[in-house]
Amino acid sequence: MPLNILVGTQWGDEGKGRIVDLLSAESDYVVRYNGGDNAGHTVTVGDETFKLHLIPSGIVHKHTIGALGNGLVINPKSLLAEMEMLKEAGIDISPQRLQISYAAHLITPGHIALDRAREAARGTGQIGTTGRGIGPAYTDKASRNGLRVFDLLDEKNLAEKLKTHLDQVNHRLSSIYQTGTLDEKEIIQEFMEYARVLKPYIVDVAATLTEALSAQKMVLAEGAQGILLDIDHGSYPYVTSSNVTATGVFTGLGIGICPVERVIGATKAFQSRVGAGPFPTELEGEQANRLRGTGSNPWDEFGTTTGRPRRVGWLDGVLLRYAVRLNGLTELVLTKMDVLSGLPEIQVCTAYRAVDGKTYEIPPMGVTTLETYQPIYETLPGWQEDLMRVRRWEDLPQAAQAYIRFVEKMSGVPVCLASVGPERSQVVEVPRDA
């Protein structure tokens, strides 16, 4: 079947954007099914770099159609800024190339204000959200109070709905959080303009994708975040508010269940996390600084959306097995192999030890009590060679090849590709292990 899915197997920022860019070469549609502009996906082609938050990374290719499914929460202001950025880079973002589901929900300045006020009120228990209004927008969706893209199609109705929504937000901001309120008139005015510009892009994405799949067009679903941030299966409550996992593709796009050709997991060769929450293999001090970088390279571990330094640690095989099981992954892409160059040795967590001494390959309650486990490590030899110019498997140092084979054995799925730099061409195809 012509549906492929790409998900992040960790806490986001695995390098999904650059893999989607590669897979887009063979895709007709590249579609987002979850999240919003909390995502930051980087695509580097030659000396041009695109940071995409809402528009699928496939848009960089000329032949693809990008779609935003009903599972998204869309901030129209961010979307228009991104469309402008792409236009300036010479990329066609006409309605023939970009489709927005009428059933996706809208993020307003009210949701953003509530997200920030809630975080501030949480004090030391902060989740460390991206502050993009994601949680409050999904809360409104679930409590049947949300504004939908569909509402942009009728100005009078939009103004009324926004007024009711902003009245409620302002009431909460002043009475619960004791913060300043929002200028309702100004926001309603802004949304009238968003509606005018976005109208031609609003379609029934579920219907067009179903038709495309029936016509054997290749559809690539681009996951945002990582599966450990999934609202149901992630390290709750330190998660985002949407279903990130591959199974979320069907509800997030509104397509019926159909066979999927490839379910690809983007996995960073080490691990990172932005925001709060458990992280069993987290490193501190010098070792962490080494993996994070100083910020002098564009790929150093600082958030694409917020610029926050990311927490970093060794690859966690327990969580990777969990990702394989949860998503039905058929293969992995291992990113940032080049960053591990120069380390004398590399550690990989292969199991957890519980407080009662029992060891687990995947803990019984998934990732609910991650903070109670001790990682058990296996130490592998490092390699000193710079990998950024390597393009062929046989040119990878022995130790780098061994690392990839180790990840395959540990996860139970093949690694099809390893990336050795952010640029489109910086990849090495991994032959199937004999």
Applying CB under 6 A, which part among 6-14, 157-165, 232-240, 352-360 lies near ligand GDP? 6-14
Q: HSE of 418 in the Cβ direction (CA atoms, 13 Å)?
A: 32
Buried-exposed string 301-319: b where 16+ CB fall within 10 A, e elsewhere: bbbbbbeebbbbbbbbbbb
Question: What minimum distance in Å lies between the beta carbon of 86 and Mg ion?
Answer: 17
Backbone angles phi, psi at 179, to 5 degrees: -120, 175
* Binds ligand GDP (CB under 6 A): choice among 4, 11, 14, 228: 14
For residues 318 to 347, the per-residue mask of contacts with ligand GDP, x marking binding by CB under 6 A and - elsewhere, is -----------------xx-xx--------
The answer to whether residue 21 is catalytic is no
Choose between 13 and 408: whose C-beta lies nearer to Mg ion.
Answer: 13
Helix (H) or strand (E) holding 213: helix 205-214
Question: What minimum distance in Å lies between the beta carbon of 36 and ligand IMO?
Answer: 8
Question: What minimum distance in Å lies between the beta carbon of 14 and ligand IMO?
Answer: 7
Partner from Mg ion, ligand IMO, ligand GDP, none binding residue 130, C-beta < 5-8 Å depending on class: ligand IMO
For residues 35 to 64, the per-residue mask of contacts with Mg ion, x marking binding by CB under 5 A and - elsewhere, is -----x------------------------
Partner from Mg ion, ligand IMO, ligand GDP, none binding residue 127, C-beta < 5-8 Å depending on class: ligand IMO
Q: Is 15 one of the binding residues for ligand GDP (CB under 6 A)? A: yes
- Which tokens in the block code for residue 348? 């990989």
195 contacts 153 by C-beta, under 8 angstroms: yes
Tell me which amino acid residue 232 is: D
CA 326, 329, 333, 337 torsion-angle sign: positive
Choose between 16 and 321: whose C-beta lies nearer to ligand IMO.
Answer: 16
Q: Is 44 one of the binding residues for ligand GDP (CB under 6 A)? A: yes
The answer to whether residue 41 is catalytic is yes
Question: What minimum distance in Å lies between the beta carbon of 173 and ligand IMO?
Answer: 18
Choose between 244 and 351: whose C-beta lies nearer to ligand IMO.
Answer: 244
> Would you give the DSSP letter of residue 395?
G
Tell me which amino acid residue 26 is: E
Cα 50 to Cα 304: distance, rounded to the nearest angstrom: 11
359 contacts 350 by C-beta, under 8 angstroms: no
Partner from Mg ion, ligand IMO, ligand GDP, none binding residue 201, C-beta < 5-8 Å depending on class: none
253 contacts 33 by C-beta, under 8 angstroms: yes
- Which tokens in the block code for residue 232? 């149901």
Cα 23 to Cα 356: distance, rounded to the nearest angstrom: 45
Q: Is 304 one of the binding residues for Mg ion (CB under 5 A)? A: yes
Q: Is 28 one of the binding residues for ligand GDP (CB under 6 A)? A: no
Choose between 108 and 130: whose C-beta lies nearer to Mg ion.
Answer: 130
Cα 10 to Cα 316: distance, rounded to the nearest angstrom: 9
Question: What minimum distance in Å lies between the beta carbon of 237 and ligand IMO?
Answer: 9
Q: Is 311 one of the binding residues for ligand GDP (CB under 6 A)? A: no
> Would you give the DSSP letter of residue 163?
H
Applying CB under 6 A, which part among 11-19, 159-167, 235-243, 408-416 lies near ligand GDP? 11-19
Q: HSE of 409 in the Cβ direction (CA atoms, 13 Å)?
A: 10
Q: Is 13 one of the binding residues for Mg ion (CB under 5 A)? A: yes
What does DSSP say about strands 105-106 and 359-360: parallel, antiparallel, or unpaired?
unpaired
Cα 127 to Cα 120: distance, rounded to the nearest angstrom: 10
Choose between 231 and 339: whose C-beta lies nearer to ligand GDP.
Answer: 339
CA distance to 78, 90, 193, 280, per residue, from 200 (Å): 17, 20, 13, 47
Partner from ligand GDP, Mg ion, ligand IMO, none binding residue 321, C-beta < 5-8 Å depending on class: none
Choose between 19 and 158: whose C-beta lies nearer to ligand IMO.
Answer: 19
Cα 164 to Cα 154: distance, rounded to the nearest angstrom: 16
Query: Residues 41, 53, 111, 165: which is the catalytic one?
Result: 41
Q: Is 304 one of the binding residues for ligand GDP (CB under 6 A)? A: yes
Of 160, 169, 170, give the one whose Cα is nearest residue 191.
160
Cα 360 to Cα 362: distance, rounded to the nearest angstrom: 5
Choose between 17 and 248: whose C-beta lies nearer to Mg ion.
Answer: 17
Q: Which residues bind ligand IMO (CB under 6 A)?
A: 8, 11-13, 38-41, 127-130, 132, 134-135, 224-226, 229, 240-241, 274-275, 304
Judged by the rule CB under 6 A, the positions of this chain that interact with ligand GDP are 8, 12-18, 40-42, 44, 298-299, 304, 335-336, 338-339, 419-422
What residues are annotated to the active site? 13, 41
Judged by the rule CB under 5 A, the positions of this chain that interact with Mg ion are 13, 40, 304
